[in-house]
Chain A
Amino acid sequence: MADKLTEPTPSFEKALERLEQIVAEMEGGKLSLEKMISHFEEGSKLVKFCSGKLNEVEKKIEQLLTKDGQTTTVPFEPGQEV
């Protein structure tokens, strides 16, 4: 249950799978109140985790620039010739 989240960084895929499973179980309407609440809590954490994963990367467009054998990255300027 909740300790699945304490695993060292579960993959996005695993988290999403678990979320789907939890939601399906909750929608099945066969859970006890305690289970329902613990599922909801775990699910909420998973949603937060997945959203975090989706937003952890900042939108950034760069290009490689090789100069004197050193390769660096610089912001990409469209239309620039090599």
Chain B
Amino acid sequence: MQPLKPATPLTAATETRKIYRVSELTRLIKAALENEFGSVWIEGEVSNLRRPTSGHLYFTLKDAEAQLAAVLFRGNQLGLKLELRDGLKIRAYGQVTAYEKSGQCQIVVRRVEEAGKGSLQEQFEALKLKLAAEGLFAEERKKKLPLLPQHIGIVTSPSGAAVRDILNILNRRFPNLHILIAPVRVQGEGAAAEIAAAIDLLNARGGLDVLIVGRGGGSLEDLWCFNEEVVARAIARSRIPVISAVGHEIDFTISDFVADLRAPTPSAAAELLVGSKEAFEQQVQRGGARLARALRTQTLVWRNRLTAAAGSYVFREPQNLVRRSRDRLGTLRSAMAHELRSAAQQRSQQVDELGLRLGHQIELRRTACRQALQDANPRMARALRATAQRTAQHLQELLLRLGHGMTVARTAGAQDLRRVASQLNALSPLAVLERGFSLTRTGEGKIIRDVAEAPVGTALETRLAHGTLESTVTALKKET
């Protein structure tokens, strides 16, 4: 190793020379290196990679001109996203230091990235292209969510906004759902590996219908673990359908593309599950109600038809039939009587009127004749008297004929009445009588409704279908 300072004459500096012990100097070198450089990013090619039983990784980073020892302690390997191998070009981030035991300058690596990767956005696009090319985003790969997911695994931070939002919805809506939270970190180094492991673990446990993988919103860096390949691959190999629920609606992550369903936010994912359950509850409830209503409606339709048929006139108590016919007969009879009465009245009125007019005419002529007689001479008066007498006789005849006419008219009226009455008879409830019912009347034609109306000895006339029986009441039996 080169001396730290330019060589000075050994003799001259004897008194002032400071002699370090090796350990002392190496400690100073280590401190100087750490102070001077601190943590840096370094890019180089991995070579001479060794993994002793301790689990730490030792390798050399080199480029064309130089090399530097590097160590990646086991504790820092957790979030390692790429498999180190000789020849791999990497970017390492770590503390520049010196290893005192060998006095060797080295870098203690804490993060490793594949070299040649660009910005986060470029990495995102590159991974998206790669996975898309593998067909991981293909529609036909996507598993159908179960119709009624009831056992739900959630891969997220137990202290994050996602859990809070999801539980808010569950507590507000009270669905009977079984939630199993797999607690993971959702940002920073190592988060992606934890998320991937949790997805695998939940798959191994089984018994879940669907997984929600996600976190609340954040910066691109915060959400980055959902853009990492390990997470994408874990989602892709999950046998349980996965709903990706990362951040705000506008942020799309690689997880969103791989997942079987993308929910814009964790709340939306919970809404989706609770909502579908509620919808089913309603559907079942409505189905039950419709079932009952359909039966009720149809029964009513049948009942109405039955009532209409059974309630038809002939099925009802037969005495109703008799009563109705009797009522109708009565109505017709009184209507007929009224008609006849008014017809007769009208005619006698006409006769009265004619008589009156005639009498008036006679009176006029008499007066005229009398006047003429008075005015004429007695001969003329005699002749006139004779004429008057003839006229009076003629008038008498006319009056007689008039009277005759009236009688004829009255007789015709009576004939009409008889005809109508016989039509009326034809309307009588003969059909009922045919069935064995009979009408019993007193000799005066009064219909017997009660035994009290026919004391012993009353002559009865019983109307049957084809004739009339005449009988006398010999005994009464009153039924109450």
Contact = CB atoms under 8 A, between A and B. Distances in A.
Contacts of B180: 62-64, 73
Interface in A18-44: 19-20, 22-23, 26-27, 29, 31, 33, 36-37, 40, 43-44
A76 B181 contact: yes
Contacts of B159: 78-82
B148 A36 contact: no
Nearest to B157: A82
B181 A43 contact: no
Contacts of B294: 23, 26-27, 40
B250 to A, nearest CB: 27
A60 B281 CA distance: 19
B290 A23 contact: yes
A68 B11 CA distance: 65
Nearest to A73: B180
Nearest to A76: B181
A67 to B, nearest CB: 12
B212 to A, nearest CB: 13
B181 A61 contact: yes
Contact of A19 (B151, B176, B284): B284
Interface stretch (B95-103, B107-115, B167-175, B363-371): B167-175
B291 interface: yes
Contact of A27 (B163, B183, B205, B290): B290
Interface in A48-82: 50-51, 53-64, 71, 73, 76-82
Interface of A: 11-13, 16, 19-20, 22-23, 26-27, 29, 31, 33, 36-37, 40, 43-44, 46-47, 50-51, 53-64, 71, 73, 76-82
4 cross-chain pairs, A with B, having the tightest CB-CB distances, nearest first: A26-B294, A63-B181, A47-B288, A57-B150
6 contacts: A23-B291, A29-B301, A40-B292, A62-B180, A64-B180, A79-B158
